[in-house]
């Protein structure tokens, strides 16, 4: 099959970017979206042109590296998934496809479709850890955890840090990401000592980094490839308020 794909090309962080249209032949329905970009890049390199820069690593939905906007939707239209798990059979060859980088102030474009997502690492550094000495694995198993809490922690820990929630949010908020990272620690016994300061510090840091405020628009959870629910944000808001009350 042949597709018409308009791709954001930008030579560097301060360069002016633009959409460039390519006709990409030899694409099969079974190919992933990234494999379609591979086909294009092989051709561009043979022709002596710069290949399209895009982030990727695992190509199996677990590393969170591959996010791009496809036809205005984070990770592409249809069922929420990662870009590497998206297949070309979902696209109509008669319709052009538009591919852009994540658009959010804290995610500056590095080149083409690659953005700098280290702002999410800064949020983790502000509190996404536990200082408790939890011992070795057998010691951790000796501490009973109620099943509902274990399930909530497991669900939140599925976040892969892709940033789709930020890209989809009309406010550019990272609340779903931050809430997932705070929740998977905050509901476990080992995470209790720092539960409230963790929530406060992570939210303050995301605000300082330029992420927008959350207005519970819900666009984040609609595109989240790991199905992190909005209730995770409510839990984080509760812990941030509790931190303020404890301090006051
Ligand atoms: S909450 Fe979902 S969309 Fe946001 S970074 Fe985590 S996995 Fe990606
Ligand atoms: S390349 Fe790892 S999630 Fe897509």
Inter-residue contact 159 to 181 (CB < 8 Å): yes
Is 36 close to ligand 2, i.e. is its CB under 6 Å away?
Answer: no
Inter-residue contact 87 to 29 (CB < 8 Å): yes
Cα–Cα distance measured from residue 67 to residue 44, given in angstroms and rounded to the nearest whole number? 22
Is 180 close to ligand 1, i.e. is its CB under 6 Å away?
Answer: yes
Instruction: Domain 3-114: give its CATH superfamily.
Output: Beta-grasp domain (3.10.20.30)
The pTM is what? 0.95
pLDDT computed for residue 247 by the predictor? 82
pLDDT computed for residue 135 by the predictor? 81
Query: Which residue in 111, 78, 93 sits closest to 24, CA to CA?
Result: 93
Is 65 close to ligand 2, i.e. is its CB under 6 Å away?
Answer: yes
pLDDT digits (tens, 9 = 90+) for 215-244: 999 999 999 999 999 999 999 999 999 998
pLDDT computed for residue 139 by the predictor? 83
pLDDT digits (tens, 9 = 90+) for 140-171: 788 889 999 999 999 999 999 999 999 999 99
pLDDT computed for residue 133 by the predictor? 83
Mark the ranges of the chain whose per-residue pLDDT is less than 50. Answer: none
Ligand with an atom nearest the CA of residue 225: 1
Instruction: Domain 117-247: give its CATH superfamily.
Output: Alpha-helical ferredoxin (1.10.1060.10)
pLDDT computed for residue 55 by the predictor? 98
Residues of the chain with CATH 3.10.20.30: 3-114
DSSP H or E segment with residue 80 = none
Residues of the chain with CATH 1.10.1060.10: 117-247
Is 224 close to ligand 1, i.e. is its CB under 6 Å away?
Answer: yes
pLDDT computed for residue 211 by the predictor? 98
Inter-residue contact 174 to 204 (CB < 8 Å): no
């Amino acid at each position: 099959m042949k597709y018409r794909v308009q791709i954001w090309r930008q030579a560097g962080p301060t360069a002016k970017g633009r959409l460039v249209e390519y006709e990409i032949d030899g694409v099969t329905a079974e190919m992933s979206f990234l494999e379609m970009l591979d086909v294009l890049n092989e051709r561009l390199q043979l022709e002596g042109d710069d290949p399209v820069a895009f982030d990727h690593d695992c190509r199996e939905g677990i590393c969170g590296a591959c996010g791009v906007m496809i036809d205005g939707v984070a990770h592409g239209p249809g069922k929420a998934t990662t870009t590497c798990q998206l297949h070309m059979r979902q696209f109509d060859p008669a319709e052009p496809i538009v591919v852009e980088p994540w658009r959010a102030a804290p995610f500056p474009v590095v080149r083409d479709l690659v953005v700098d997502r280290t702002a999410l690492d800064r949020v983790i550094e502000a509190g996404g850890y536990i200082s408790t000495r939890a011992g070795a694995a057998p010691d951790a198993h000796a501490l009973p955890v109620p099943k509902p809490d274990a399930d909530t922690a497991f669900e939140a820990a599925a976040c892969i840090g892709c940033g789709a929630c930020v890209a989809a949010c009309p406010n550019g908020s990272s609340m779903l990401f931050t809430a997932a990272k705070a929740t998977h620690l905050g509901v476990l016994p080992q995470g209790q000592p720092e539960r409230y300061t963790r929530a406060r510090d992570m939210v303050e840091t995301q605000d300082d980094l330029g992420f927008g405020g959350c207005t519970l628009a819900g666009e984040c959870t609609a595109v989240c490839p790991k199905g992190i629910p909005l209730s995770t944000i409510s839990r984080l808001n509760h812990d941030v308020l509790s931190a303020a009350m404890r301090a006051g």
